[in-house]
Amino acid sequence: MLFVEVALKVPLHRTFDYKIDPNITVHKGCRVWVTFANRKLVAMVVDIKAKTDVPENKIKAITSVIDERPIVSDAYLTFLKFTARYYCHSLGETIFTALPASLRQGEHPDKTQVPNYTLTEEGKASPKLRAKKQLALIEHLKGSGVTSLTELKALGFTTQQIKPLKEKGFIAEAINHCEAWSSHTLEIANKPRLNEEQAAICAAVNQQTGYRTFLIEGVTGSGKTEVYLQCLEKILNAGKQALILVPEIGLTPQTVNRFRRRFPNTPIDLWHSNLTDNERLHTWRRAEQGSSALVIATRSGIFLPFKSLGMVVVDEEHDGSFKQQDGLRYHARDLAVYRCATQQIPLLLGTATPALETLHNALNNKYQLVSLTKRAQTKVDNAYLLIDMKGQPHQNGFAPTTLQHIERTLARGKQVMVFLNRRGYAPTLMCHECGWLSECHRCSASATYHKSMSRLVCHHCGEQSYVPPQCVDCGSTNILPVGLGTEQVEQFLELQFPDTPLSRIDRDSTRRKGALEEALNEINEGGARILVGTQMLAKGHHFADVSLVIILDVDSGLYSSDFRATEHMAQLITQVAGRAGRSGEPGTVLLQTHYCEHPLLQDLVNNGYGDFARYALKEREEVALPPFSFLALIRAEANNAKLVIDFLSDLVPASPFSGIQLLGPIPAPMERVAGKYRYQLHIQAQDRAILHSYLTQLLAYVDKHPLANRLRWSIDIDPMDTY
């Protein structure tokens, strides 16, 4: 008799054995159907063995084999086993998080094809068309030859343009070549000559054989993307594959476009949350078969099963979106380090604002630090101005000086960008008579006033309610909005500058499909002169005409209970500021603050992020916070606060464990969300191995804990925020 050890999508931290008829062939990395607790489940075979500890009368046989051949390699399974161990997550849940939905459900890996499009002879003859978007699509296909539907969608095209072009016979569906990409020859379009700093980095990367992580610390607009592109040439020329991880794809079609323009005939595939299940399966399979050369992906792309991976690039490595915030709470950048190290390939981490963890590793020579200190297309730097708000009169959050700057910039025909990381009209409503505040009754948070909808909306649980005509407590009609949101900024600026077109970009204004693309196009074509937005505006956009950037409120980041708050604030300021002065003349960055003298703020504006970050690292070292120690968080929540506290208290051992500091149970910074009480346990250690061995013991205990099934709990290794 033979036995298979399988991983199942269940939260238990263990695998399960089943028996299998020796006449049936099955391999590691194949899926099988099994019954588990009276349910039929897809299982992944992680080992095949001759013996089992399960008694003979207890062991069940598998129901059937799904895959004749393994769908993932041994090395890939090893990677997932590491992931599960590192994040203290069940192997089964880890494997089934990594697989695309169709494979989780037991479907055939070759179930689907995504159409490709190419120009017909009529299409190549530059047909006269009135629709601008249809023309743009024809132009695109002229450059790229064959392009998948997925890529066209990422570039902002829709079936509205594709269908009529197909009907008119200008484009046709093309055959999808699933051959290995390595049989192509690489075509490289025109490219700029690298400057000295860029060339030095490419040389260092190209020289590398085997594993090395490079941190490319390059100011915004210094040509990091150009460095990735030119480093990729060697990898692609060798017929290898590369993974490009980016924070967002929907927001930045330019990125995809840039890779496509540089490598016109190269199979590029995409992986992000807006794909359909079929599209995901398609990309997954093409990566696994070696048919894709480049995959541009968001966070979970780190789990794609490449056949011959040659390089990974993590662009904007500091970005919070690389950390998954529920389920398997992995960090894609950190997993990239493991993956590249085991596969002996280079990893490029690029950013203007390195995460302190990454910088620490670079300063310790664990990673190689390489820098781009100058902007690629302009010689000038942006000027920072701190606007002291203390005791100043202001209108809807704008100091008089700020308004004068806007006026002057507009008069010169330039664009102005106003940044505020809070959507809605005002974060709360207040009764002027009795002090009543609009609070969400399910969360410990205020409900945001959305004037255009006439609603109060909780940004934490989503609950909406009508704006009360009178104070709920005292009946007064004197109810006022307190604080500032983007909607209010928009209305105020429209009144101040009535003849100036304005565009607001935040989650509310871009909810309708295609709204974001329209707004971005309008900005790029110079229509909108004032741009108001949240961090959606901060990420990676290249707006040529912006020469004044205003950050309305930097104070909230200076004093916060989260030890990473100042780091995140400095990253955000630097990234937003980087949108100014991108072509030619220097930009101005105005920061409104009540704390002009704050040493971190002074350091940031006078000496730049690099200096700030090195100073901030020293501060972390003094108090032994990460990266100078290692942190794990156990979170628990339930409707009943006592249950949560009892559960977490019970996890605290009676006598201390050497090398481990425990704090808690303490309430989460937002104690109540959607009616649930949330508490947490902070577990800190100077040594990662000690932390992990402690957690392994703890988890074995939690798995059997009688309260564990009565509440929701989770463990977070290297948590990014402590809420």
Ligand X SMILES: Nc1ncnc2c1ncn2[C@@H]1O[C@H](COP(=O)(O)OP(=O)(O)OP(=O)(O)O)[C@@H](O)[C@H]1O
**Residues that bind Zn ion in the complex, under the rule CB under 5 A:** 440, 442-443, 458, 460-461, 463
Name the CA radius of gyration of the chain, rounded. Answer: 27
319: nearest Cα among 363, 348, 353, 367: 353
In the complex with Zn ion, the residue whose CB is nearer, 463 or 545, is: 463
In the complex with ligand X, the residue whose CB is nearer, 116 or 220, is: 220
For residue 221, the partner it binds in ligand X, Zn ion, none, with Cβ less than 5 to 8 A by kind, is ligand X
In the complex with ligand X, the residue whose CB is nearer, 35 or 257, is: 257
Instruction: Count the residues of the shown chain that bind ligand X, applying the rule CB under 6 A.
Output: 18
For residue 575, the partner it binds in ligand X, Zn ion, none, with Cβ less than 5 to 8 A by kind, is none
In the complex with ligand X, the residue whose CB is nearer, 376 or 715, is: 376
In the complex with ligand X, the residue whose CB is nearer, 376 or 673, is: 376
Asked if residue 220 binds ligand X (CB under 6 A), the reply is yes
In the complex with Zn ion, the residue whose CB is nearer, 344 or 464, is: 464
231 is in an annotated binding site: no
Helix orientation angle between 253-262 and 132-144, rounded to the nearest 10 degrees: 40
From 92, 100, 123, 221, residue interacting with ligand X (rule: CB under 6 A): 221
In the complex with ligand X, the residue whose CB is nearer, 202 or 691, is: 202
* CB of 499 closer than 8 Å to CB of 528: no
From 305, 578, 581, 587, residue interacting with ligand X (rule: CB under 6 A): 578
Q: What is the x/- site pattern for ligand X, positions 346-385, by CB under 6 A?
A: ------x-----------------------xx--------
461 is in an annotated binding site: yes
For residue 555, the partner it binds in Zn ion, ligand X, none, with Cβ less than 5 to 8 A by kind, is none
| 677's tokens | 């009480």
b or e along 71-102 (b: 16 or more beta carbons within 10 Å of the residue's beta carbon)?
Answer: bbeeebbebbbebbebbbbbbbbbbbbbbbeb
From 218, 267, 310, 587, residue interacting with ligand X (rule: CB under 6 A): 218
From 156, 253, 540, 719, residue interacting with ligand X (rule: CB under 6 A): 540
Helix (H) or strand (E) holding 383: strand 383-388
Exposed, middle or buried by CB within 10 Å (0-12, 13-18, 19+), for 183? Answer: exposed
481: nearest Cα among 529, 444, 523, 447: 447
Q: How far is the CB of 199 from ligand X (least distance, A)?
A: 9
Asked if residue 318 binds ligand X (CB under 6 A), the reply is no
b or e along 487-505 (b: 16 or more beta carbons within 10 Å of the residue's beta carbon)?
Answer: bbbbbbbeeebeebebbbb
CB-based closest residue to ligand X:
223
d(CA 291, CA 293): 7
d(CA 169, CA 194): 42
Q: How far is the CB of 426 from Zn ion (least distance, A)?
A: 16
Instruction: Specify the stretch interacting with ligand X by CB under 6 A; choose among 15-23, 219-227, 455-463, 679-687.
Output: 219-227
340 is in an annotated binding site: no
202 is in an annotated binding site: no
From 197, 226, 553, 718, residue interacting with ligand X (rule: CB under 6 A): 226
Q: Around Cβ 663, how many Cβ atoms within 10 Å? A: 12
DSSP 8-state secondary structure symbol assigned to residue 704: T
b or e along 320-340 (b: 16 or more beta carbons within 10 Å of the residue's beta carbon)?
Answer: bebbbeeebbbbbbbbbbebb
Pairing relationship of beta strands 346-351 and 479-482 according to DSSP bridges: unpaired
In 497-591, which residue ranges form alpha helices assigned H by DSSP? 515-524, 565-577
Kindly give, in sequence order, each residue whose CB lies less than 8 Å from that of residue 447, ignoring residues fewer than 6 positions away: 428, 429, 438, 439, 440, 456, 457, 458, 463, 465
For residue 42, the partner it binds in Zn ion, ligand X, none, with Cβ less than 5 to 8 A by kind, is none
For residue 443, the partner it binds in Zn ion, ligand X, none, with Cβ less than 5 to 8 A by kind, is Zn ion
Q: What is the x/- site pattern for ligand X, positions 172-211, by CB under 6 A?
A: --------------------xxxx--x-------------
| Helix/strand/coil for 116 | strand
From 224, 282, 299, 635, residue interacting with ligand X (rule: CB under 6 A): 224
In the complex with ligand X, the residue whose CB is nearer, 282 or 318, is: 318
For residue 377, the partner it binds in Zn ion, ligand X, none, with Cβ less than 5 to 8 A by kind, is ligand X
φ and ψ at residue 616, rounded to 5 degrees: -65, -35
| 655's tokens | 């006598």
Q: How far is the CB of 462 from Zn ion (least distance, A)?
A: 7
434 is in an annotated binding site: yes
In the complex with ligand X, the residue whose CB is nearer, 329 or 541, is: 541
Prior bond of 665 cis (ω within 30°): yes
- Binding residues for Zn(2+) are 431, 434, 440, 443, 458, 461, 471, 474
Binding stretches for ligand X (CB under 6 A): 192-195, 198, 218, 220-226, 352, 376-377, 540, 578
- Binding residues are 431, 434, 440, 443, 458, 461, 471, 474
